[in-house]
Structure 1
């Protein structure tokens, strides 16, 4: 009885060991994998023998949650693709499950089963969407929306951005909830065009994922505001360089060039243009109010106008504007024109003076001013304007070459040279001689007039006497004739 009692008492232990042995022979693994919406992911079925070494009666299954996707039994393969994954999945070598064109709804638990082995893979899907499909104009602010989906609790993601030049960008993140993050970027410049990277990170579960996205910024390669300086009667070319060819902008866009003399003044459309998806530029001249030309030979993707002979009133703001899908971007070139005049004009006489006036057509930059100087002169022969003065006069009594400079940030932007000629000694003598000669001439004419008057008076008196003599002679002859008749 004791023996049988001992045997009976050993049976539970044996059954427990058998159960533990069976349990240890069953292998369960849990894995985690991240996929990007629109991309492709391959889920592994680890520790399985190659197909050629598997027993003939082996059964291999892939499931999504409790839904059977694929089964292999007796070397026969069967697909049972649900609608959500139909046409987007394949089985590769070593029974790996490949899913293409991932969607947020593909997130969940995928299980590979073979024999006593079960491998559970939790697929975490992340979707990154950029506003306007990544096509922007200058100074627009992109918006990124990062969405995640998982069968497990959603992790708290940290987001880091790198621009096309691999510079770290600090965005403004609006964390509505763990499922969706809204990220606002900075105002874009044309140099921001290229491939950006969004880096997401989580410690639990461990996620380190880099998501690349393309950014195209259509606009001008000119600075935000450009000043062009010119002197009266010079030739000026104004250019706006588009970057459409550089970034391979494959869509049509239009634009126009406007001019106005000052802020608030009436705007005049000079030309309009269209750029085709093939990058061809077509321009049409719209105005004859301003004398300008469209050069035939110019750089590719460039809007350009030529002013062959600048007038003082040609100054002002020249604005080139792009239009794409009812959005606009523009760049201004401010033309500043300088003119110089002298009062009185002409050679400078000895002891005389002249006023030279230098004037620019528009307001100057805060650090800009005008300056007169005599070339090869001394510091005494110079004068500078005060801040914001657009007109500078200088009174001079010394002939020579004088120059007016527009100086901005210690740099001479433009100069106008004016040569003051000195009246020669010969000219002065001629003037003096002419003055003396004029006096003598007047005196001689006066004398001549007096002499002529005297002679005329004498001739008149002589003629009178001769007439009287003739009359007296005639009277004597008449008397003699009468006397003879009486006799």
Structure 2
């Protein structure tokens, strides 16, 4: 073979070789595309003319690996219809694009569009994300997330980033990792975590940047757990648990119950049970006949509510509302603290006497809470505070008036019980001795017993005048002894 002697004489040959290489690269194109299981993709037949401009004798076909999927020749077209894709694919005729929906992991592989000398190979990479419990959880549960991938090429190493419904980045706990399957645990869920989450999947080679959205629904309470309520004896208390089932559009049925126990170690008493249908209808049934409570007829939607019309001291304790769904349960507690006040001795306070007032709450106090007795409009000397963790506070008093016991927590008065101490009346005896003159005067003596009782110190002068008149009358009529009671 004769070699080229000059650069000029070699130019046509070099140009021809470059031209043939360009045609060859154009005839075989490789593309990469990512699809999500359950979703759909459209694979392009890159470089093909619109349907209206194609020559009639153009032959076009789509092949999956070595399996013919579709072919068009002289405007005659037919589907090979392989079983793995039957009913899940069609052709967009204008540009002969292959559309596949309801993708499966097994759909990953090489799809080739052939027309004339042109071949466009698309490597389809499938990702599948699943979440435990189909995305339906109760509060405090930990979801499990599984990411799987499939490809005809070696599987890449994926990085996973998660964002919750509030667009806050969440760091998952990796449980298991292989190139094919990644298993991670999320955080404990709260009711506010309901919404759309995003899983970002990334790979450098091949280049993958895929956002996968998934729904999370967390059934629970809008109340904080272990809420505390305060009440005085004989007052009215309403317990209310606000469910979030309507807010998150929970389309599943679930049940629940309301229980009460006086102490943590005490036996539990069921007050009512309820069920909520998939349509959101709430049905309640009272279970206790010994515990006096009411179910209000009018209350907010998706709310469990009970009313104690007259609180007793032994009504204190924990009221627990529990939700149950598919064998799992979550609960929210409200603790009732009841205050009562007593006096010893009971009754009005005599002048110069003492009385003991006792204030008591039904349960242990938090470290930052205490009891305080004080006299309304009194001085600092008329007040007393309990020591830490004391649930009973006594105060000895010698002054009548309005006394108040407060339960104070974090410098805030949570509840007060006002007790009015009355001043006792003072009685004075007067005895007058005379001679009985007959039974008719006995009635007059009995009548004079009530002449001037109940008169205050402010009317003492007026009362003394009336008593002198009455005494003179009795002496003149020679009546027997007569007693007069004077109220100061």
- How far apart, CA to CA, are the structure 1 residues paired with 2:2 and 2:317? 114
- The residue correspondences of 1:25-174 to structure 2 (distance < 5 A) are 25-26=23-24, 27=26, 28-92=28-92, 93-174=94-175
Question: Residues of 1 paired with 2:352 and 2:119: CA distance?
Answer: 112
CA-CA distance at 1:378 after TM superposition: 2.2
Residues in 1 aligned to 2:170 and 2:284: alpha-carbon distance in whole angstroms: 39
Equivalence map 1:9-20=2 (5 Å): none
1:379 shift after superposition: 2.2
- Worse overlay, 38-47 or 69-78: 69-78
SS at match of 1:52: helix
Alpha-carbon distance in 1 for matches of 2:153, 2:398: 92
The equivalent residue for 1:296 is: 297
1:305 lines up with 2:316 in the alignment: no
Q: Distance in 1 between matches of 2:379 and 2:171?
A: 55
Q: Distance in 2 between the 1:71 and 1:372 partners?
A: 94
Partner of 1:255: 256
Q: Deviations for 1:426-477, whole angstroms, at most 9, x for unmatched residues?
A: x32x2xx23x64xx87xx99xxxxxxxxxxxxxxxxxxxxxxxxxxxxxxxx
Q: Structure 2: how far apart are the matches of 1:288 and 1:227?
A: 25
Q: What is the alpha-carbon distance in structure 2 between the residues aligned to residue 377 and residue 169 of structure 1?
A: 57
Written as runs of structure 1 = structure 2, the 5 A alignment for 1:31-430 is: 31-92=31-92, 93-423=94-424, 427-428=425-426, 430=427
**Contact (CA 8 Å) 1:218, 1:249: kept in 2 or not?**
yes
Separation in 2, partners of 1:263, 1:6:
101
Alpha-carbon distance in structure 2 between the residues aligned to 1:243 and 1:392: 41
Number of aligned residue pairs: give it. Answer: 431
Could you say what secondary structure the match of 1:413 adopts?
strand
What whole-Å deviation, never above 9, does each CA across 1:267-294 have from its counterpart, x for those lacking one?
1111111111111111111111211111
- Structure 1 residue 307: deviation in Å? 0.8
SS at match of 1:191: helix
1:295 CA drift (Å): 1.3
How much has 1:393 moved relative to structure 2? 0.8
Give the superposition deviation at 1:14.
8.5
Partner residue in 1 for 2:453: none
In the alignment, the residues of structure 2 paired with residue 110 and residue 143 of structure 1 have an alpha-carbon distance, to the nearest angstrom, of: 33
* RMSD of aligned Cα (Å): 2.5
Higher alpha-carbon deviation: 14-23 or 127-136: 14-23
In 2, Cα distance between the equivalents of 1:95 and 1:36?
22
Give the whole-Å Cα distance in 1 for the aligned partners of 2:357 and 2:2: 132
Alpha-carbon offset, residue 349 of structure 1? 2.0
The structural deviation recorded for 1:17 is 7.0
Q: If the length of structure 2 is used for normalisation, what is the TM-score?
A: 0.83
Instruction: Indicate the structure with greater helix content.
Output: 1
Deviations 1:377-416 (A, max 9, x none): 2222221111211111111222221111111122211111
> Is the Cα–Cα contact under 8 Å of residues 25 and 116 in structure 1 kept in the other structure?
no
Give how far 1:125 is off. Answer: 0.4
Kept in 2, the 8 Å contact 1:110–1:122? The answer is yes
Q: Where do 5+ consecutive residues of structure 2 fail to align?
A: 436-488
The Cα of 1:41 is off from its aligned counterpart by: 0.4
User: Which has the larger Rg?
Assistant: 1
Larger mean CA deviation between 111-120 and 186-195 belongs to 111-120
In 2: Cα distance, 1:413 partner to 1:202 partner: 57
Question: Any idea what the Cα deviations from partners look like across 1:140-179, whole Å, max 9, x if unmatched?
Answer: 1111100011111211111111111122111112342111
Q: CA separation in 2, counterparts of 1:332 and 1:17? A: 84
Shift of 1:21: 4.1
**Cα distance in 2 between the residues matched to 1:75 and 1:274:** 62
Q: What is the deviation of 1:6?
A: 8.7
Note the C-alpha offset of 1:75: 2.0
Secondary structure at the counterpart of residue 244 of structure 1: coil
Decide whether aligned partners of structure 1 residues 83 and 381 sit closer, same or farther in structure 2, where only a CA change above 3 A counts.
same
CA distance in 2, matches of 1:38, 1:135: 19
1:327 to 1:6, Cα distance in 2 relative to 1, 3 A:
closer
1:354-399 deviations in Å (ceiling 9; x for gaps): 1111000111122211111122222222211112111111112222
Distance 1:381 1:193, change over 3 A: same
How far apart in 2 are the matches of 1:168 and 1:17? 56
* 1:78 shift after superposition: 2.2
| Counterparts of 2:3 and 2:300, CA distance in 1 | 103
Change beyond 3 A, Cα 1:311–1:22: same
Q: Structure 2: how far apart are the matches of 1:230 and 1:350?
A: 33
Q: Secondary structure at the match of 1:49?
A: coil
- Deviations 1:198-233 (Å, cap 9, x if unpaired)? 111112211111111111111211111111110000
